[in-house]
Amino acid sequence: MTILTDEQSLHQDVDAKGLAEMGKAVLEIEAKALTGLIKTIDMSFVRAVRSMLNCEGRVIVLGMGKSGHIGGKVAATLASTGTPAFFVHPGEASHGDMGMITERDVVLAFSNSGETEELTVLLPVIKRLGIPLVAVTGSSDSTLAMAATVHVCVEVKEEACPLGLAPTSSTTAALAMGDALAIAMLQTRGFTERDFARAHPGGVLGRRLLLKIDDLMHKGDTMPVVHPETRLSDAVVEMNRSSLGLTAVIDETGRVEGIFTDGDLRRIFERNYDVREVQIKDVMTRNCRTLSRGALAAEALHVMQDQRINALLVLDDKKRLIGVLNMHDLLRARVL
């Protein structure tokens, strides 16, 4: 017989429906908070965006506790969307890290109460630097709001916490406002997918928008190559040497005449050709798909998927073969 503690008994008394209703209630409260936030977007928001757009240095984001976590995320969002930014812990700032803030920067400070001591103690130093202070708080009458160059209000009517203690709706509102500021600046700057990729070179988007076929293709001696008069049996040997499942067929100048793949070889056997006698020019695929050097790997992927092929030949500006690319190369580079 299992004996339950009072706490365990209480947890069992809360049924699945009750737990689901608790979750829905939290989301409803926070959704209302965000809906109410829309009405607060005014010229203060515009001035805040302009202050950061005009910044010649970086946006320095400050925040303590839960607001500090929000500030760290907002700083990361700003940095990845075209606005140089980083987070500075207010407690560390008052012990030397204020040296990280220069006269070319803008300070973006998050505090729900606007009375966070670690922030207010920095106000005289920020004032002496003569730099703009954008304060995001839930109280327009707070010390931080009154001292700010621009105040953006994120006041919420209630926290989702039933005790009214844990920052929930207030942190959600601050985070959403930070996103609104970042995206407004992104669009004003004309920030593009390619710009985003440069800030995320290790991500999937970065690989798709920055990686070129020149970085992936097989070239030089690793390219499987034969001439039109090569016997089919010798072409198969060349295909096996490279393990790419194909060989390019070129003339004496290096211009592409065609391609011969594993699929072509299977069809050859179905037609009972004598592989020892037939020449590759008689069985190769002419007018094969090619790409020019400098093309994006994403473009190669699109062509392969659209044409339902597994390989492409890469040409220089004189239409000479300089590389061979297959689907496995794209898979290894995680372009998919």
My answer on whether 144 and 75 are in the same domain is yes
Owning domain of residue 288: 213-332
Query: Has residue 178 been placed in a domain?
Result: yes
Query: Has residue 296 been placed in a domain?
Result: yes
Query: CATH no. for residue 318?
Result: 3.10.580.10
My answer on whether 169 and 220 are in the same domain is no
My answer on whether 29 and 117 are in the same domain is yes
Query: CATH no. for residue 136?
Result: 3.40.50.10490
pLDDT in tens, 251-268: 999 999 999 998 888 888
Phi, then psi, of 225 in degrees rounded to 5: -140, 135
pLDDT in tens, 70-80: 999 999 999 98
Residue 221 pLDDT > 60: yes
pLDDT in tens, 14-55: 688 889 999 999 999 999 999 999 988 999 999 999 999 999
My answer on whether 63 and 96 are in the same domain is yes
> Which single residue is written with the structure tokens 């700003």?
78
Residue of 259, 253, 274 whose CA lies nearest to 313: 259
pLDDT in tens, 81-123: 889 999 999 999 887 788 889 999 999 999 999 999 999 999 9
My answer on whether 155 and 236 are in the same domain is no
Sheet hosting strand 311-315, strand order edge to edge: 290-292, 311-315, 321-326
My answer on whether 37 and 71 are in the same domain is yes
| CA 87 – CA 74 distance, rounded (Å) | 9
Question: Sorting pLDDT into bands at 50, 70 and 90, what band is 207?
Answer: low
My answer on whether 228 and 180 are in the same domain is no
Query: Has residue 1 been placed in a domain?
Result: no
Q: Of all helices (H) and strands (E), which one includes residue 304?
A: helix 297-307
My answer on whether 237 and 184 are in the same domain is no
Mean pLDDT to the nearest integer, 4-9: 53
My answer on whether 187 and 235 are in the same domain is no
| CA 74 – CA 80 distance, rounded (Å) | 10
Instruction: Please list the residues that pair with 60 across neighbouring strands.
Output: 86, 107
Sheet hosting strand 106-111, strand order edge to edge: 85-87, 59-63, 106-111, 133-137, 150-153
Tally of structural domains, the chain: 2
pTM of the model: 0.65
